[in-house]
Amino acid sequence: MAIFSRLTGKQARAEAAIEAAALRSDRFRQEREGDWRRLEAVVTRMEAGRLRKISDADVLELPVLYRTVASSLSVARETSLDAATLAYLEALVQRAWFLVYGPRTTLWSWLARFFGGEWSRAVRSIWPELLVALALMVAGTVIGWQLCAADPDWFYAMMPGQPGDLRVPGASHAVLKGTLFGKQGQDGLSVFAAYLFSHNAGVAILCFALGFAFGIPPVLLLIQNTTMLGAMLWLYHGQGLTLDVVGWLSIHGTTELLAILLAGGAGLHIGRSMAFPGTRSVLDAAAAAGQRTATVMAGVVLMLVAAGMLEGLGRQLIDSTPARLAVGYGMLAFWLAYFFLLRRVPAGSETE
């Protein structure tokens, strides 16, 4: 009795209940129920709140309680036939498991890791596909040029005709030059830039997403888009404006074409992993490839923001070919250095 008198009333009642329980598995349950309910309370709070508002105590307690309750579940499975308790424990462990193994990073720490090396590492890891994508794009450009040179009618087939477009075969030097320069005064440039970004990002995401069909659609998209490039180059070359059109395209094109190259390479990577999964199952191979290339694609969208700004603003405001070339190839050098010279692996990386 001396022991009982030191206990609080609540504890004493709990002890008495444990004594009264006829079954060993019920005594097990009553002894641990407190922990289960504490975990349930923590999990419910964390599920309801934004990450920032969760108290440190909950964050510290969660993994400990999770392991306690998980071991309760293991024991209960071997000793208890109380189906309701088992179902409750399974559900509770599952909820806690989602939190313990959920996406743990905040957006900012993910971005820090992303720019701090994860992006460039992901890009390097798909280098064989990048080479294939590059070859396809070069081939597309050459094909576009050659076809137009052989028969100018091809130009109309490749360029989606816009009514009133001055850029057609047979246009004079002056007309073509006018399309390249003298747009500084134009209004609504920033809107144009935002539109271009949104459009290009859509195309790049499409290029990636279609890689799912064993990589064939990205091949077609890469070739189709670059035949247009070849046709444009051919058109301006005919009037001796080759360098000027290269400058006009390069200021944003180095960034944009590189982004499309990365997106196409990412699509090809998924396609290749599914067509030739190696020793893994197709599903596992697709999942691994998808996660690797998702990082590349997040970067592609950011590159297209940059390209949209350069195209919508930079190209119209910078009106000389040398300056355009300098910006364009400066950007290219920057991207290549970032991807292939930055070889730091960020701390706390989530992937392998």
Partner 1 sequence: MKSAPATPKRSDRRRMLITPEGIALPVTLASRGTRFGALLIDLTIIVVAMIVSAFGLYYAASKIMQMNGQSLEKSDPTMPGAVQFALIVYIALLFLLRHAYFLYFELGPRGATPGKRMTGVRVAARDGGRLTTEMVLARNLLRDVEISLPIVAVFSLIGGGLAEWAALGWLAVFALFPLFNRDRLRAGDLVAGSWVVEAPRLKLADALSTGQTAASGTSQATGASYKFGEEELAIYGEFELQTLERVLRENRTEAMAAVHEAICRKIGWNPGAGDERAFLEAYYTQLRARLEGGMRMGQRKADKHG
Using CB under 8 A as the binding rule, the residues of this chain from 290 to 349 that contact partner 1 are 290-295, 297-298, 301
By CB under 8 A, name the one of 154, 208, 236, 248 that touches partner 1.
208
Output the smallest distance, CB 314 to partner 1, in A.
16
Burial bucket for residue 281 (CB in 10 Å: 0-12, 13-18, 19+)? exposed
Q: Judged by CB under 8 A, does residue 281 bind partner 1?
A: no
CA pair distance 76, 31, nearest whole angstrom: 12
| 77, amino acid identity | R
Q: Which residue in the block uniquely carries the two structure tokens 């590059």?
A: 134
Binding region for partner 1 (CB under 8 A) out of 238-246, 253-261, 281-289, 329-337: 281-289
* Residue from 39, 249, 260, 289 binding partner 1 (CB under 8 A): 289
**Residue 283 touches partner 1, criterion: CB under 8 A:** yes
Residue 213 or 337 with smaller CB distance to partner 1: 213
| Segment interacting with partner 1, rule: CB under 8 A, options 18-26, 133-141, 165-173, 229-237 | 18-26
- The residue among 141 and 273 lying less far from partner 1, judged by its C-beta, is 273
| DSSP conformational letter for 160 | P
For partner 1, the binding residues in 106-135 under the rule CB under 8 A are 107, 110
CB of 100 to partner 1, least distance (A): 9
Q: Between residues 18 and 142, which has the closer beta carbon with respect to partner 1?
A: 18
Q: Is 20 in the site for partner 1 (CB under 8 A)?
A: yes
Tell me the two tokens of residue 256: 């944009």
* Residue among 12, 14, 21, 332 that touches partner 1 (CB under 8 A): 21
- Helices 321-341 and 242-275: angle between axes, nearest 10 degrees: 20
- Which residues, 27 to 56, sit near partner 1 by CB under 8 A? 29-30, 33, 36-37, 40, 46-47, 49-51, 54
Q: How many CB atoms lie within 10 A of CB 347?
A: 9
Q: How many residues bind partner 1 (CB under 8 A)?
A: 85
* Residues 63-102, mask of contacts with partner 1 (x by CB under 8 A): ----x--x--xx---xxxxxxxx-xx-xxxxxx-xxx-xx
Q: 273, exposed or middle or buried, with CB in 10 Å at 0-12, 13-18, 19+?
A: buried
C-beta of 83 vs 150, nearer to partner 1: 83
Is 224 a binding residue for partner 1 by CB under 8 A? The answer is: no
Compute the 3-state secondary structure of the chain and give helix, strand, coil in percent, each to the nearest 5.
Answer: 80, 0, 20
Task: Report the alpha-carbon angle 188-191-194, nearest 5.
Answer: 155
257 near partner 1 (CB under 8 A): no
Residue keyed to tokens 């850029």: 167
Residue with tokens 């407190």: 34
Min separation Cβ 11 and partner 1, Å: 18
Nearer to partner 1, 139 or 288 (CB): 288
Q: Quick check: helix, strand or coil at residue 195?
A: helix
Q: Is 103 in the site for partner 1 (CB under 8 A)?
A: yes
Restricting to residues 138-177, which ones interact with partner 1 according to CB under 8 A? Answer: none
Judged by CB, which is closer to partner 1: 64, or 135?
Answer: 64
**Residues numbered 184-203 forming contacts with partner 1, rule: CB under 8 A:** 187-188, 190-191, 194-195, 197-198, 201-202
**All residues at 6 or more sequence positions from 347 whose CB lies less than 8 Å from its CB, including other chains:** 113
Q: Which is nearer to partner 1, 95 or 177 (CB)?
A: 95
If one asks whether residue 105 binds partner 1 (CB under 8 A), the answer comes out as yes
332, 341 contact by CB (below 8 A):
no
Distance CA 86, CA 38 (A): 17
Count of CB atoms situated within 10 Å of the CB of 225:
18
Question: What is the distance between the alpha carbons of residues 56 and 68, in angstroms, rounded to a whole number?
Answer: 19
Residue 216 · residue 126 · CB < 8 Å: no
Place of tokens 């070859």: 135
